Amino acid sequence: MPTDYFSVKDRVVVVTGGLGQLGRQFCLTLLENGAKVAVFDALADEDRIAARFGDAKNNPSILFCKVDITKRASIEEALDGVKRKWGAPFGLVNNAALDSPPNAPAEENGPFETYPEASWDKVMEVNVKGVMLCCQVIGGEMARAGRGSIVNISSIYGNVSPDQRIYDYRRKKGAEFFKPVAYSASKSALLNLTRYLATYWSKQGVRVNTLTFAGVFNNQDEQFLENYCQKVPLGRMAREDEYNGAVLFLMSDASSYMTGSNMVIDGGWMAW
């Protein structure tokens, strides 16, 4: 019998932000491949769960937990529920994050010089502190069990600066629009958090890797798409399902010798 290196069967995996566009994809992919999936999301109420997961919400191998990842006690409480149901997690996908959407308040998308402190603090609290706390609580449990895989979801904008020229069309129309600083800074922070934890937990058998993505199509306006896609060698934004294989790979034994790495899937964005 050939070895199924990509098997995640019966592995307990926590996915933060699991009700989001990509989080949902990761949860369903892991579930379909035999994993037991704990969905941690601040918006995990019955209506949203039903809308996002349909009949899959009734699968006995999925657990929904309403969790504020910026609060250690909230993570600990949810983890206790996971352990009672399935035991210690094998995997953690730190997917939950905040970004300023194109329709955010004008001050959030204005010049760097006037970017609001409160916006900076809010993004950093979720994107950096939240990931750190999840690693402390859930990753710590994995280290005590002596095995596991953590995936920290980053962005091309954590590796290179946003190209503000993409948004020139907005400024030509009179809007003072810039891609804000906090998201980039927060995603960059994850790169070295990954490296730190990969070495810190190496003797405990916990692998930690960064997964860096480019933009995902979500009905953005036509001018933005044209400008953005000109910078992508493959000529388009990613489909929301095109990162699923990478998560499966990092949660499986196919990546057993991979830790402290930054796996980039960006359609070639950073190649030129």
131-190 pLDDT per residue, tens: 999 999 999 999 999 999 999 999 999 999 999 999 999 889 888 889 999 999 999 999
- Asked if residue 32 has pLDDT above 70, the reply is yes
* pLDDT number for residue 81: 98
CB 96 within 8 A of CB 126: yes
- Asked if residue 1 has pLDDT above 90, the reply is no
* Residue at 4 is within a domain: no
- Asked if residue 101 has pLDDT above 90, the reply is no
What is the Rg, in whole angstroms, of the alpha carbon atoms belonging to the chain?
Answer: 19
Task: Please state the pTM of the whole predicted model.
Answer: 0.96
* Residue at 183 is within a domain: yes
Tell me the CATH number at 203. 3.40.50.720
* Residue at 272 is within a domain: no
pLDDT category at 102 given cuts 50, 70, 90 is low
Domain, as residue range, for 229: 12-265
Q: How far apart are CA 94 and CA 195, in angstroms?
A: 15
Q: Tell me the pLDDT of the chain averaged across its residues.
A: 96
* Residue at 2 is within a domain: no
Q: How far apart are CA 172 and CA 124, in angstroms?
A: 31
* pLDDT number for residue 29: 98
Number of domains making up the chain:
1
* Residue at 5 is within a domain: no
* pLDDT number for residue 175: 83
Least-confidence region, from 8-22, 161-175, 178-192, 246-260: 161-175
Q: What is the DSSP string of 77-146?
A: HHHHHHHHHH-S-SEEEE-------TTS-GGGGS-GGG--HHHHHHHHIIIIIHHHHHIIIIIHHHHHHT
* Residue at 3 is within a domain: no
* Residue at 170 is within a domain: yes
